[in-house]
Chain A
Amino acid sequence: MSGFFYVDLILFAILTVTAITIAQLRHLYAAAMLSGLFSLVCASIFVLLDAVDVAFTEAAVGAGITTVLFLSALALTNAGERFTPRRLGLPALIVVTITGATLIYASQDLPVVGSLDSPVQTHPLKSVYLEESVQETGIPNVVTTVLASYRGYDTMGEVAVIFTAGIGVLLLLARTRKPGSEAGSS
């Protein structure tokens, strides 16, 4: 725990610095690259939290595919942000301060990471999933069992969402062809 604490601390420091730098950058190409770094550091934190599944996704989608899509979008549009004069927005500052203070106040009620009496540990469903799922399904990975077997409807809905979102993006982006031209010519 204590050894990981410093690694966590360093990763969160990198994360914070990256986020502040992205917010201040005017150059969108650099901002896109730094958002890739942000995702990679997030993926490392997920590994430390033993959520390797999520880390895979974050590394592949966040650091890889999203960065490439950002860069493709920048190649089509403009790599510089239009200059807007910096001014102090007092209402925005008040809203941000109140929201941040509320979140920090609310975080006092969160259980300590890994504590035994958190709702995750005490909920009755935990014993169903962790102890009975192997006997019921014979599959050692509880995450897969919950995703595909106990909550198969859920996952089917997620695939339908990805399908729908993909079709929508492709309809917006794909080159419109004239009816007479060949479909496979591009």
Chain B
Amino acid sequence: MENDHLVLRVVSKIMMPFILLFALYVQFHGDYGPGGGFQAGAIFATGMILYGLVFGLDRARKVLPWNALMFLIPLGLLIYIGVGVVSLLLGGRFLDYDTLNPHHPHAGQHLGILLVEAGVGITVAAVLTAVFYAFAGRGVKQ
């Protein structure tokens, strides 16, 4: 398994940076074009799953360890809720991004949506990758 599939390994190695870059583009360009956290998270997870399929689960786990995923899954949700709590503390309503930058409500909206979408992306990417790890890891004799 490790020695054949040379074309597959070379091509996926070349494709990996572009897949991850596209995920980041979809993530951070969501304010202007189509995209956002859900899509970016799914694309990022697809990249990790491709890596895991071609190079094996062990190498994928070296790139993105299981413990890191267990940290990232709640982190995304906490970022989202945290933005809401911060806007409460700044004197606005829950998830009222205008308060993040009182002099520039538009900048506040931009910042808030950017942070919230980052939270969505982190949780989605981590959950999907972790589900793949859990599925693929079950059949393997350790």
**A contact set with B: CB distance below 8 Å:** 52-53, 56-57, 60-61, 64-65, 68-69, 72-73, 75-76, 136-141, 143-145, 147-149, 152-153, 155-156, 158-160, 162-163, 165-167, 169-170, 173-175, 183-186
Contacts and interface: CB of A to CB of B under 8 A. Distances in A.
B42 A139 contact: no
A137 B109 contact: yes
B60 interface: no
A141 B34 contact: yes
Interface residues of B, number: 55
Nearest to B121: A159
Given A72-B138, A156-B95, A173-B134, 12 more contacts: A53-B36, A56-B42, A57-B39, A60-B42, A72-B135, A72-B139, A76-B135, A136-B109, A140-B31, A173-B138, A175-B138, A185-B142
A88 B43 CA distance: 43
B107 to A, nearest CB: 8
A99 B126 CA distance: 40
Contact of B81 (A145, A156, A185): A156
Interface string B106-141: 110110110011011001101110111011111100
A1 B22 CA distance: 30
A170 B77 contact: no
26 contacts: A53-B35, A56-B42, A60-B42, A64-B42, A65-B128, A68-B53, A137-B113, A138-B106, A139-B113, A141-B33, A145-B113, A148-B36, A156-B116, A158-B38, A159-B77, A162-B124, A163-B73, A163-B76, A166-B73, A166-B127, A167-B73, A170-B134, A173-B131, A173-B134, A184-B66, A186-B66
